Chains A and B, each alone.
Chain A
Amino acid sequence: MFRLRLLPWEYAVRNLLRRPSRSALTLGALAVVILLIFVVVGFIRGLEQSLAVSGDSDVVLVYSMGADENIENSAIAGQVPGLLTANLGVIQKRFGEPHASAELYLGTRVTVGDQQGLLGLVRGVTPTAALVRRQVRIVEGNWPGPGEILAGRLAAAKLGVQTQQLAVGQQLEFEGRTWKISGHFTAGGSAFESELWCRLPDIQQVLKRQDLSLVALLLQPGANPAEVVLFCTQRIDLELQAVGESEYYASLQRHYKPVRMLAWLVVGLVAGAGVFTGLNMMYGAVAGRIREIATLQAIGYRRRAILISLLQEGMLLAATASLLAGLVALFWLNGTAVRFTMGAFALRVDSVALLVGCGTGLLLGMVGALPPAIKALRLPVAESLKAV
């Protein structure tokens, strides 16, 4: 019957502009807090995305039984690829070529220019790798020849060097040999992008090894990966295990769960800091307006209307801060390479990150404005009118 009469929208906007320095400082502080949230959530999303896209649902990895999730520790006999292709009918074949990629994977110390001891990830491959690792695209240069390296898009970030130091034609050293960069590749944001690929015989020669780390098999559409597992189960002498590549990277996701939980905790702590920033600003803003608020009540505005106006102020500031932080995150931070233990990945400010960042920002505005507003409205009108 009686409609709640709200204060004009412009009232909240003008109140923010009455003290421009305080409002600007609070805007800056909130923007920094929300930007930090974007950075952390972007880190989490980038890590998750890197592991999620690394796994091909049609690829099965065959490696040694004791290696668990650490393929670097795997060593299987060199004849395993031949045994697999001869005994398994589920492997994809085109023009008689089975899609079985024999690979040797290791972490080693790399020297780039005068920087020594950089930790790089090297994968020795054959041309069949391009058939199995379907997300790999050469974007510059050529497939590596003898003594050459094909560098992933994030390999420079993984090594901690400038991108131009891994330009085509540049050289680097590892395992006592000099290698020339033949080209660059992308792999859809997957973990492969932080690797250096070379010819399998080359790396076997420098390491004086004939064994392999793994064989990656691309199965025919609709094939049952259990047949590969069954073969490995029956060939007890080979001590092999087989796991779907998606499942392998999902297990790595679980491995990094504590890191993600910690990152979310950081988001919570940073958001908490933002709440106190907002509280501090609004308490200060309300403290000097007690008489004004009492006057508004005296002329007939309900407490709810004044509360909503105060919330408008806080949320307007927080929304502006969210917008600024979102723009910086999207245009400056999105895609920034982050070096991590397992490689490198790109910060990903996607829809989830934007939702979390902006949603947290608005929440900060509301939570930061609510307690001081309630406190101010609890005071009796008669006393408040006499306040200094």
Chain B
Amino acid sequence: MLNSAKFGGLLVVAASLILGCAESDGPVARQGAATAPDATYLLTAKPTEVRGVAQACQECENDELIAVEGRIGGVKKPFVDGIAAFTLIDTKLNWCADSEGSATPWDYCCSDKTGKLAAVTIIGSDDQPVAKNARELLGVKELSKVVVHGAAKRDDQGNLTILAKKVYVAQD
């Protein structure tokens, strides 16, 4: 009887190990700590004459050099894997509260994002997009507050893309 009890106990432990070792790989799990950034693309001081994303979307002209402040987010996957690019949303908007239980609070699904969202591409000295994830390149993550400095690109539909050569990462 004792041997049967031991055998049954071993089975229960084995089952617990198998079920308990399931991976959790949701989007929140990917929001890890920022890695060592590349100083080539970073500013040590915040630029002057900074505009918000909404203001930039309204005012700036094509090829105008601008400095825009915003938070990384606005969509479920704000970073582009393999290229240093991300979406930037106006800091005046609030991201989803913790109480709402959203796995991706940086998508700002509760806010009206019209005219308050821009795309940022980090370009190198060759004026080409840097082929590295912006997370590692700049040491940033979702909801990081940044100021990007570069040339504005407007298309016929009014979409704003900032080709940034330098980024200031705010500490907040």
Given A234-B159, A236-B119, A236-B159, do A229 and B15 touch, yes or no (CB 8 Å)? no
Contacts of B19 in A (CB 8 A): 261, 265
Residue of B nearest to A371 (CB): B3
Residue of A nearest to B113 (CB): A236
Q: Are B11 and A226 in contact (CB under 8 A)?
A: no
- How many residues of chain A are within 8 Å of chain B by beta carbon? 22
Q: Are B85 and A230 in contact (CB under 8 A)?
A: yes
State the Cβ distance, A134 to closest chain B Cβ, in Å.
Answer: 23
Q: What range describes how many residues of B lie at the interface?
A: 20 to 34
Q: Of B15, B22, B80, B155, which one neighbours A257 at CB under 8 angstroms?
A: B22
State the Cβ distance, B29 to closest chain A Cβ, in Å.
Answer: 12
Q: Of A229, A236, A261, A272, which one neighbours B80 at CB under 8 angstroms?
A: A229
Given A234-B161, A237-B157, A272-B11, do A261 and B82 touch, yes or no (CB 8 Å)? no
Chain A 241-281 per-residue mask, 1 if CB under 8 angstroms from chain B, else 0: 10000000000001001000100110010001000000000
Say yes or no: is B60 at the interface (Cβ < 8 Å to chain A): no
Given A224-B82, A230-B80, A230-B83, do A261 and B22 touch, yes or no (CB 8 Å)? yes
Q: Are A235 and B157 in contact (CB under 8 A)?
A: yes
Residue of A nearest to B26 (CB): A254
State the Cβ distance, A370 to closest chain B Cβ, in Å.
Answer: 10
Q: Are A237 and B158 in contact (CB under 8 A)?
A: yes
Q: Are A254 and B157 in contact (CB under 8 A)?
A: no
CA distance A184 to B151 in the complex (A): 54
Chain B 143-172 per-residue mask, 1 if CB under 8 angstroms from chain A, else 0: 000000000000101111100000000000
Say yes or no: is B75 at the interface (Cβ < 8 Å to chain A): yes
Q: Are B85 and A233 in contact (CB under 8 A)?
A: yes
Residue of A nearest to B129 (CB): A230
Contacts of B160 in A (CB 8 A): 236
Say yes or no: is A357 at the interface (Cβ < 8 Å to chain B): no
Contacts of B86 in A (CB 8 A): 233
CA distance A68 to B26 in the complex (A): 13
CA distance A229 to B134 in the complex (A): 14
Contacts of B25 in A (CB 8 A): 254
State the Cβ distance, A240 to closest chain B Cβ, in Å.
Answer: 10
Say yes or no: is B51 at the interface (Cβ < 8 Å to chain A): no
Q: Of A236, A241, A265, which one neighbours B117 at CB under 8 angstroms?
A: A236
CA distance A265 to B119 in the complex (A): 46
Say yes or no: is A361 at the interface (Cβ < 8 Å to chain B): no
Say yes or no: is A292 at the interface (Cβ < 8 Å to chain B): no
Contacts of A236 in B (CB 8 A): 87, 117-119, 159-160
Say yes or no: is B46 at the interface (Cβ < 8 Å to chain A): no
Q: Are B87 and A226 in contact (CB under 8 A)?
A: no
Chain B 88-118 per-residue mask, 1 if CB under 8 angstroms from chain A, else 0: 0000000000000000000000000000011
Say yes or no: is B64 at the interface (Cβ < 8 Å to chain A): no
Say yes or no: is A46 at the interface (Cβ < 8 Å to chain B): no
6 A-B pairs closest in CB distance: A226-B82, A237-B157, A226-B83, A234-B119, A229-B80, A234-B161
Further 16 A-B residue pairs, CB within 8 A, beyond A230-B83, A230-B121, A236-B160: A226-B83, A226-B131, A230-B80, A230-B129, A233-B86, A234-B159, A235-B155, A236-B118, A236-B119, A237-B159, A241-B75, A241-B77, A254-B25, A265-B15, A268-B18, A371-B3
Q: Which residues of chain A have a CB within 8 Å of any CB of chain B?
A: 65, 68, 224-227, 229-230, 233-237, 241, 254, 257, 261, 264-265, 268, 272, 371
Supply 5 A–B pairs (Cβ within 8 Å), ascending by A. Answer: A229-B82, A233-B86, A234-B159, A235-B159, A236-B87
